[in-house]
Chains A and B, each alone.
Chain A
């Protein structure tokens, strides 16, 4: 997929996703060693975006499994199309014997493939994104183990389906709970943290090209000062970009304290955070 870590950086930068050297090396290793990549980090630093960007630069299709509490095999892996099977049995009438019907209804035709099975059966390049894996129950994690370590799925009626072409698998987690050691062991690990001010400025400028350099600089300095404050919810990169767009829409050419105080709601969404920021950065009252 990639020739070197540098190739990862440049190609991802080509689609507007800027990574640092460590992240590029990790992505490169995951692709090279054929291992799933587990990405953790605070909300809104671009974990999901990274998977999307990789899909985009490698011309792969992105298959996404959004995890949530209560996700089960039937939604993640595969399911038999029960209604269709029922119709098949009824329409066959009484002249067919059971053996034949049984062989008939457990075939491809009646199989509903869900994201994991779909990703494994595809012959074209695929990026499999398992998003927010920490939201699932422990049972689903066990299910992921077979898929992510062997890239195969066992369906009792059909046998084991092995991936003809390994998908590039990305698992993201917000660390609301620890994933199991077994799952972690099979993955390469990448912790995406908030970017450095310099990198964040580049990100803002690439996402909001109309912004001028001085304003972008002020913006990222302010954001990194906010992140240093020990808030309930620190501003994410996505929120920094939103803030940049807001300032442009307001026609503010300069992020002076008054403008900052007025628009602070774009990045801080808890009242106590708001109060803390106003106090620590000595912002004036909002107009």
Chain B
């Protein structure tokens, strides 16, 4: 047992609790890795928090996708300070704010001196991007602006949204941009300055969020707060993700597609024991004195498939359709041809928007603007979508086609058109229905998932992990 752990029994308990929380959050931390982390303690300065973080990160976080979860939990289990801590000493504003009673009304003054001072500090951070300044401002701001308690319990509460409203940093932008431009007046410099500020502001919001989480953890105890701290990106439900989460998920799509493609290519090559390649084998045998030790085979020609995707792009499931399309088009080399149809209560072919070499994200946006997918009432109508598809594009489905239908099977109590769907499925080589809802919710309300599931296999695709697994299996065979 490393000396550092031996000396401080408290550290070991905390370590074990932290590892347990990581496992709870979905990181597969092995016992060996937990011991490694403890071993690393002995080598770094435990009082230096960032060293400790680096030691943990090196030993227990082996996938970058888990890093955000890890950071959030690390901040909870090894907080930088407790209460108002050092921040209070450093900034005079915080000291008085910390002693302020719990506010009881929602009214606040634009010219509140604390607010003005904090806005100045924030402007400082935004123009320099200096991390310690940012953290200090975030701490002070959260301490200064607890959420008013309307119930009168006197219990302190904090919220990111509330703090950001009070600071209203957007109103600082015009001035800051002028300062960053420093006399330059072209559009490019302005665009860059704006992008820089946006990025720093986003970072600041994350800091505030961390600080709020730390405060709440201190009030309620770490064990109660940790489970809600943060989810790994690939397990966030696609249909209920926030705008920010969607953004993060979108960034994950491209690397994911690349990994899937690499895996598929390797698999194709490995299973390539086709015909004997005589010429290659003889040539190879020359180096072993004419004895064909290594037998060579011709690579098998990969068999690719046609894919037809029919997706519901109505509000409730649009995000899911977008991600699936992004993933499918990122993997387009794996398919001979992909045709895409979108519908709400009218169906239209949108294949044209996904031109090769173009940007699928852009295509998804164009598709939303230009395709004719809404008809009379603008609510999902599977009946219309299916019959019109059969009327106009029946020839899209053939012997080699794989049909994918994306939607939540919520018909708004309209027609289901089961026979039409049956006809479509029987003509296609294979067919799947991807449903973004938790399968407990199937058949609740206006969902007719079970009826459609009798016609073709229905797959639950709630999050990125499930979606990736499905697409991988689909392209695999």
Contact = CB atoms under 8 A, between A and B. Distances in A.
Contacts of B64: 40, 175, 191
A84 interface: no
A177 B357 contact: no
Given A21-B54, A33-B36, A191 B266 contact: no
Nearest to B189: A257
A4 to B, nearest CB: 8
B39 A177 contact: no
A102 interface: no
A197 B270 contact: no
Nearest to A278: B188
A189 B36 CA distance: 12
Given A22-B54, A271-B357, A29 B191 contact: no
Contacts of B11: none
**Chain A contact residues, majority secondary structure:** helix
A29 B269 contact: no
A83 to B, nearest CB: 8
A242 to B, nearest CB: 20
A25 B255 contact: no
23 contacts: A5-B51, A5-B54, A22-B57, A25-B55, A33-B40, A33-B43, A134-B262, A175-B259, A177-B259, A185-B62, A188-B36, A188-B59, A189-B59, A221-B196, A224-B196, A228-B195, A228-B199, A257-B187, A257-B188, A276-B359, A280-B195, A282-B191, A283-B188
Contacts of B195: 225, 228, 280-281
Contacts of A168: none
A178 B259 contact: yes
B58 A272 contact: no
B279 interface: no
Given A177-B259, A177-B263, A260-B188, A22 B50 contact: yes
A256 interface: yes
Nearest to A271: B357
B220 to A, nearest CB: 30
Interface in B25-73: 28, 30, 32-33, 36, 39-40, 43-44, 50-51, 53-55, 57-59, 61-64, 67
B28 to A, nearest CB: 7
B8 interface: no
B186 interface: yes
B177 to A, nearest CB: 13
In order of increasing CB-CB distance, the 10 nearest A-B pairs are: A25-B54, A282-B187, A257-B188, A176-B262, A184-B62, A22-B54, A188-B58, A26-B58, A225-B192, A225-B195
Contacts of B259: 175-178
Contact of B191 (A190, A191, A225, A284): A225
Contacts of B186: 256-257
Nearest to A182: B30
A137 B269 CA distance: 10
Contacts of B62: 38, 181, 184-185, 187, 189
